[in-house]
Amino acid sequence: MTDTVTITIDGQDFEVPKGMNLVDAAKLHGIGIPVFCYHPKLDPVGMCRMCLVELGNVAIDRTTGAPELDEQGNPVIRWFPKLQTACTQTVSQGMVLRTTSDMVVEGRENILEFLLTSHPLDCPVCDKGGECPLQNLTMAYGPGESRFIYDDKIRLAKHVPLGKLIYLDRERCIQCARCTRFCDEIVGDDVLAFHERGRRLQIVTISDPPFDTKFSGNTTDICPVGALTTTDFRFGARPWELTEVSTICPYCPVGCNLNASTRMDREFGGKAMIKRIMPRQNERVNEIWICDKGRFGHHHSRHEERLLAPLMRNKSGELVEVEWPAVYKAIAKQLKAHGDQAGFVGDSTLSNEDLWELRRLAELSGGSPRLGLWPATMSGGDVVAQVGVGSETRLQDLGPGSVILVMASDFEEEAPIWWLQVKQAADRGAKVVVANARPTKLDRYASAVIHYRYDEAVGVLNSFTAPLLSGDGQLGQGNGWGALQSDLQNAEVTHADTANLLASAENLVIFLGSEGLTLEQHAELMQAAANLLIVSGHVGRPNNGLIPVWPGANVQGAWDMGFSAEATADLLANPPALWVIGGADVAGEDIRMATALEQAEFVVVTAQFMTPTAAHADIVLPRQSFAERAGTYTNGLRRVQRFYPAQGPIGDALPDWKIFAHVSAQMGGPRPPVAAGTIFRDIAQRVERYIGMDYTRLAWFEPQFPDVGGDDLYYGGTAYSNYGGLGLQWPAEAEAEQPQFSVRPVRTAAPQTDGLTLVPVWVLFDRGHLFEKSELMHHRMPQPYAAFNPDDAARLGLTDGDRVTLAVEGHELTVTAQVGDDNPAGAVLLPRRLSGDATLSTPAACTVQKIESMQKVEG
Amino acid sequence: MLAEKYADRIQKIFAKYPDRRSGIMDLLYLAQEEYGWLTEQALEEVAALCDVDPTQAHSIAGFYTMYSEKPKGKYWLQVCTDLPCALRGADDFYAALCEFLGVEDGGTTEDGLFTVEQVMCLAACDKAPMLQCNFHYHENLDMEKMKAQIEQWRAEAAQPEQPEDERP
């Protein structure tokens, strides 16, 4: 094989990939070379000198260029006179390493002796104690005694807040620069740096805001000592007391694999309690990173306001506590009475099992089931099924030759870890094209940026597709090719360079959001993306295809279980008499939903908290959070992933599936299943995409490289190895042997209105009913605002900071105006879930009124 | 603001390098010359000019000893007291200098004119006692010479500000 070379480590020969550094190469074969500064996800710097090895190369005869041979005919090895850092050296054919020789052992001893000259011996109270690379490596390689004079110890500050979430202990820092390099290389936000030099070298920030990237928590994982700790876990527990439970983040479509570190806790009645959330390695999903929302957003699972018992309205209209059997009967009675007039809505935090049981209940209720999903902002589940990204796609494989188009999404706010991976793909040489109506943070890393008017989105994609169909090129198999060709014949090619870039890409991945688009417009946009991918041939193989930036963790699963955003829209257009709402705070987020619920005859809600939706309800059912039960989520790459019960139960709350199944039983359905796994077996039999999956297969795992989280924490930090399962991805239709593609012409919808359009946008740190309960994150949540373009603001007589009333569809919202050059003209950007008030989920025409002047201006 | 006051010099600095961030050290010297020391505002200005985070400017200023992030007098007197200089009387010279100016080691005179400091080798051992004042060498010193020089600096400082010329 030409891609590998043979090297000798401690007398044993190994085949290793070309170009790999020595630490990784040794690690690949189970030989640990201790490191502090080196991290497999970061570029090597060779600062800590812990990885010193004896290194020899094959001597080359300069006259012939052939290896020199000794008398026995063996190659002559030329040793470096001094120890070399293994992390900065890459392998070459015939290289010889000694990792256990006396010289190496002494080298390590000396480095540790130096590192410990000023390191405090506060391991007994240090959060890292017990899972500390410095502790472990000192035990393994340390000298045991120090020759340094204690009086010369450098004393530095021990409680330095680097932001509101991360504390720095300057004495514990061993100057490995993993955190500064993480900020610089991985996140691209270099707010941490070294100050001074020598023994006084220390981590500082004077940035404003300080260290508050969306990924700050990851630095505490890769810190090889206890210098960086989170405010969430600081002094919370000792690592050896913790039991690790695999779980999945319930917030966004990335589906980050998490570990919940739990312990039986006095504060929680002796039940298992989540003490911290850590990343769990899944190289196909989140690698070893998670965002701060996932890490610190677990507090809702045991918040004091959790609903503990079922509530039902009594005769005087008050919600009072009742027993479970009574509510099951009451709901069944209502469903029997309203039968075919019931509407069902499932939240994006509901597991596949919850949704399946909700669907079964809907089917038992008679009529054709109306199954809406929430948030209902994105269409196109069928398009994803057809041209979704190929199985075994790994975003970290995208590099030179790959093109990534990110469209209609404020990517970092909507899917932070995907943003991180796309940013790194750009660093590796992939070309990133960002198309949106306004600048976003990803623009910095883009090869091309296209700013369009919101209603031009479909036209932008059409203009990429048109040139591909203009020649005499062969039309593909399937429906609609002729119609598409004649439709795009005269299409204007507005972005020729970008179109070429996309067409000539070896790999093309499209991330598609829905910013500024109504559901109908978004359906067209999804199809336009499918047309482009199909016509340019970027489907049906890994690292090619469509990835929807769904508005929640299990939106894909909801589509798979038969729920759709269109059904939600239909429920709004033709409201049912009876609503059954699973988990979602529809009324708290959307004024249209709030109105619909007000007018409904009967509303049943499963909820964790007394949300506005629950307040509208006639029956409120306490649901368990993701932390207390088992289930599966399907992420935006269609990977079905298991989560496990991590935390002890609270009150009488039950998982949604159990609640729905019990009502089903009252309606004449089968006996309620006893476990989520049984429901999944049912799903796997009846949902084609999930055929062949079961809980055992979803829990499969394999050794992943880099090998993080094993016994040797020094190597990758405290992210965890994956023992909970890597999940399974269902294949897109395009991956079939003879796929039948259907394309169709899509139209740019005419501008909706001459006036202002209210455009809902996402912010990561929002006040959604679950995340809001993480009080330590409140400082990151922006105050409610509506953003205006300066021209629009001038026309309306608004300046930054004015209070305004937005009138939309007969409702009024009061917010603070923010005026900025980046905001697109004709739009009022209103972040979802920022205030306690309901807003909108999809764009609509609005008028704006400044509050002080009381002067109404037509938008 | 540096950007307005020294537009030409900043232009020349950037012209020397392929990208803006490479100009950061020259700009930090410029800022130090302007403000006497690197205030947080100075760091922010330089960072903005170089299109980097202020923390990065802070980091560079912290690493190199010729930048000061603490208030300094108009004349920053760095006396080498390393062994070879000490053998030629540099430590006595330094003590006498401190006494003459009425400051402690590392201190600044009350009028804000002079800061004295001991430094490591300045590579002029053969001409000790010597000092570096705002990066200019003064060699083969004794207190007589020094007193004259200090008088000269005091007189200079009393003059209205001269137009800026290039830093050597």
ipTM: 0.85
B131 touches chain A (CB under 8 A): no
Looking at A285, A302, A319, which one is the last position of a domain? A302
B15 touches chain A (CB under 8 A): no
- How close, in Å, is residue B151 to chain A by CA atoms? 35
What does the pLDDT look like over B82-106, one tens digit per residue?
999 999 999 999 999 999 999 999 9
List, as one string, the DSSP characters of A31-94.
PPPP-SS--TTS-----S-TTEEEEEEE-B-TTT-SBPB-TTSPBPEEE-SS-EETTTPBP-TT
- CATH assignment of B75-158, among 3.40.50.620, 3.40.30.10, 3.30.70.600, 3.40.390.10: 3.40.30.10
> What is the Cα–Cα distance from A36 to A255, expressed in whole angstroms?
30
Q: What is the pLDDT of residue A474?
A: 58
Indicate the pLDDT class of residue A545, thresholds 50, 70 and 90.
very high
Residue intervals of chain B classified under CATH 1.10.10.1590 are 2-63
Tell me if A733 is assigned to some domain.
no
Do residues A330 and A390 share a domain?
no
**Interchain proximity A192–B55, CB inside 8 Å:** yes
Tell me if A732 is assigned to some domain.
no
Q: CATH number of the domain that A267 lies in? A: 3.30.70.20
A193: chain B residues, CB-CB within 8 Å: 53, 55-56, 58-59
Tell me what the mean pLDDT of segment B150-163 comes to.
Answer: 82
> What token pair was written down for A310?
């079922």
**Contact indicator for A372, A346 with CB cutoff of 8 Å:** yes
Do residues A366 and A480 share a domain?
no
Do residues A537 and A583 share a domain?
no
Q: What is the pLDDT of residue B164?
A: 54
Portion of chain A with pLDDT greater than 90, in percent: 82
**Contact indicator for A91, A25 with CB cutoff of 8 Å:** yes
Do residues A193 and A276 share a domain?
yes
Q: What is the pLDDT of residue B163?
A: 54
What does the pLDDT look like over A579-590, one tens digit per residue?
999 999 999 999
3-state secondary structure of A652: coil
> What is the Cα–Cα distance from A652 to A672, expressed in whole angstroms?
17
Do residues A154 and A295 share a domain?
yes
Side-chain half-sphere CA neighbours of A159 within 13 A:
3
Q: Are strands A319-321 and A431-436 parallel, antiparallel or unpaired?
A: unpaired
Q: What is the DSSP letter of A280?
A: B
Residues in chain B: 168
Tell me if A703 is assigned to some domain.
no
Third-level CATH fold of B2-63: Arc Repressor Mutant, subunit A (1.10.10)
**Interchain proximity A208–B40, CB inside 8 Å:** no
More confident residue, A730 or A213: A730
Residue B143 has pLDDT above 80, yes or no: yes
Nearest CA in chain A to B52: A190
Q: What is the pLDDT of residue A8?
A: 95
Tell me if A727 is assigned to some domain.
no
Q: What is the pLDDT of residue A475?
A: 61
Q: CATH number of the domain that A73 lies in? A: 3.10.20.740
What does the pLDDT look like over A304-337, one tens digit per residue?
999 999 999 999 999 999 999 999 999 999 999 9
What does the pLDDT look like over A68-116, one tens digit per residue?
888 888 889 999 999 999 999 999 999 999 999 999 999 999 999 999 9
**Interchain proximity B63–A196, CB inside 8 Å:** yes
**Interchain proximity B62–A194, CB inside 8 Å:** yes
**Interchain proximity A196–B56, CB inside 8 Å:** no
Tell me if A61 is assigned to some domain.
yes
State the best of A195, A204, A213 to mutate against chain B, taking most chain B CBs within 10 Å: A195
> What token pair was written down for A237?
């527990």
- How close, in Å, is residue B59 to chain A by CA atoms? 5
Nearest CA in chain B to A197: B63
Omega into A224 within 30° of 0, i.e. cis? no
Q: Which helix (H) or strand (E) holds A547?
A: strand A545-548
Alpha-carbon distances, residue B111 vs A370, B101, B107, B136 (angstroms): 83, 10, 12, 22
Q: What is the pLDDT of residue A144?
A: 83
> φ, ψ for residue A820 (rounded to 5)?
-150, 145
Looking at A495, A521, A548, which one is the last position of a domain? A548
Contact partners, residue A826, CB within 8 Å, separation at least 6: A453, A755, A756, A757, A789, A792
**Interchain proximity A190–B62, CB inside 8 Å:** no
Q: CATH number of the domain that A485 lies in? A: 3.40.228.10
Rounded mean pLDDT of chain B? 91
Tell me if A716 is assigned to some domain.
no
Tell me what the mean pLDDT of segment A791-801 comes to.
Answer: 93
Q: What is the pLDDT of residue A372?
A: 97
Residue intervals of chain B classified under CATH 3.40.30.10 are 75-158
Tell me what the mean pLDDT of segment A502-507 comes to.
Answer: 94
State the best of B53, B68, B70 to mutate against chain A, taking most chain A CBs within 10 Å: B53
Do residues A508 and A587 share a domain?
no
**Interchain proximity B58–A190, CB inside 8 Å:** no
Do residues A108 and A158 share a domain?
no
Residue A485 has pLDDT above 90, yes or no: no
Tell me if A700 is assigned to some domain.
no
A195: chain B residues, CB-CB within 8 Å: 58-59, 62-63
Which amino acid is residue A620, in one-letter code? Answer: V
- Which strand ranges, in their side-by-side order, compose the sheet holding A602-607? A319-321, A311-313, A619-622, A602-607, A578-582, A342-347, A371-374
Residue A473 has pLDDT above 70, yes or no: no
Q: What is the pLDDT of residue A472?
A: 56
Do residues A560 and A621 share a domain?
yes
Do residues A417 and A370 share a domain?
no
What does the pLDDT look like over A122-139, one tens digit per residue?
999 999 998 999 999 999
**Contact indicator for A403, A505 with CB cutoff of 8 Å:** yes
Do residues A187 and A288 share a domain?
yes
List, as one string, the DSSP characters of A202-268.
EEE---SS-S--TTTTHHHHH-SSTTEEETTTTTT--GGG-EEEEEE-SSSTT--EEEEEEEE-GGG
Weakest-pLDDT range from A707-711, B28-32, B117-121: A707-711
Nearest CA in chain A to B47: A207
**Interchain proximity B40–A189, CB inside 8 Å:** no
- How close, in Å, is residue A175 to chain B by CA atoms? 14
B127 touches chain A (CB under 8 A): no
**Contact indicator for A366, A667 with CB cutoff of 8 Å:** no
Domain that holds residue A298: 150-302
Do residues A398 and A525 share a domain?
yes
Chain B stretch 50-79, residues whose beta carbon is closer than 8 A to a beta carbon of chain A? 52-56, 58-59, 62-63
Weakest-pLDDT range from A182-186, A208-212, A676-680: A208-212
Nearest CA in chain A to B51: A190
**Contact indicator for A643, A296 with CB cutoff of 8 Å:** no
Domain count, chain A: 5
HEC string of A90-134 equals ECCCCCEEECCCHHHHHHHHHHHHHHCCCCCCCHHHCCCCCCCHH
Residue carrying the six token digits 């209720």: A365
Tell me if A859 is assigned to some domain.
no
> What token pair was written down for A409?
């999404």
Do residues A408 and A523 share a domain?
yes
3-state secondary structure of A763: coil
Indicate the residue of B43, B52, B55 with minimum beta-carbon distance to A205: B55
**Interchain proximity B59–A208, CB inside 8 Å:** no
Looking at A302, A322, A357, which one is the last position of a domain? A302
Q: What is the pLDDT of residue A706?
A: 86
Alpha-carbon distances, residue A30 vs A11, A23, A721, B109 (angstroms): 14, 10, 15, 63
Chain B stretch 26-55, residues whose beta carbon is closer than 8 A to a beta carbon of chain A? 40, 43, 52-55
